[in-house]
Amino acid sequence: MPFVKESYYIDKPIKSFLFLIKKFNLTQAQAQRFISKGRLIVDGKPLLDKASIVVGDVEIIKFKPITKGIKPIFIAKDFAIFDKPSGVITHPNTMATDYSMLDEIRYYFGDNANATHRIDMETSGLLLASLNRDSDKFLKLSFEDRKIKKQYLAWVKGRVEKEFIVEEPIKIRDNYSISKHKVEISKDGKYAKTYFRPLKYNKKLDISLIEATPYTGRTHQIRVHLFHVKHNIIGDPLYGTEFNIAKLYLEGKLSKKDRLEATGANRLMLHANKLEFSYINIYKILSKVNFLKGELI
């Protein structure tokens, strides 16, 4: 388990967040988040008051990374790139999560390394990791400011003959009683734009390999935009399936056989294959990074 308890003895009274800052070299914000997540234990219970005084025996719930052999495919001074497999989440959802890509990132690069963005569990492909706090801040802001360009490959149903753009607003659903879609096209949603370009057509299977470039970063953007134009992604258990199939998938009860029959594949056939960005390191040297990796198979 990545999260483990370790015991510590504090010989002099000190504010809880100051103890964490001094003991583990955290920033004040990091220490306060640590406490708010219930990872400082006193008398067997999480201590949630960030300014409380602690002394004597305490327990700390620490993240201890494990590896399953997923090595970085590119390493620079301040960042690294991993090729995330389908089926692995990026960050742990809770302290009960037994494995995520954060394990691999911190196994290789230490506690200050971090995933700078999220890739859906079932999507495979390029995951950018920061190796220190300065690069983490820079890269996360670059994603927020849309300065990092991402590109995806997807196998979709039907024949796509020419490039096209979907520019439809996306809203997160608040009612799953009729549909299990996490998001939907809605005039009340946030602006979203995706460019699609066909690469290959398989006549026998009636499926197309396409390139997808999102200009915005909405949840499930590529998936719902393709579903909207009736070219849903092969293997997608949510968009383009019957309600019962989506329900079984979300409950973890959908068999591989039934999923294959319903969606055409046992994984979402979506792959993050390209990252492009400019990076300024701590010495203010500007470098252009254009990383292209892999095909979707």
**DSSP-derived 3-state class of residue 119:** coil
Domains delineated in the chain:
3-63 (3.10.290.10), 74-148+279-292 (3.30.2350.10), 152-271 (3.30.2350.10)
DSSP state string for 192-224: --EEEEEEEEETTTTEEEEEEEESS--TTHHHH
The predicted-structure confidence for 61-119, as pLDDT tens digits, reads as follows 888 899 999 999 999 999 999 999 999 999 988 877 889 999 999 999 998 899 999 99
Q: What is the pLDDT of residues 187-217, one digit of tens each?
A: 999 999 999 999 999 999 999 999 999 999 9
> Which is the catalytic residue, given 43, 98, 103, 120?
120
pLDDT of residue 283: 45
Q: Is 49 part of the annotated catalytic residue set?
A: no
Six-digit token string for 255:
């068999």
Q: Does residue 72 contact residue 80 with C-beta atoms inside 8 Å? A: yes
Q: Strand, coil or helix: what is 225?
A: helix
pLDDT tens-place string over residues 153-194: 999 999 999 999 999 999 999 888 888 999 999 999 999 999
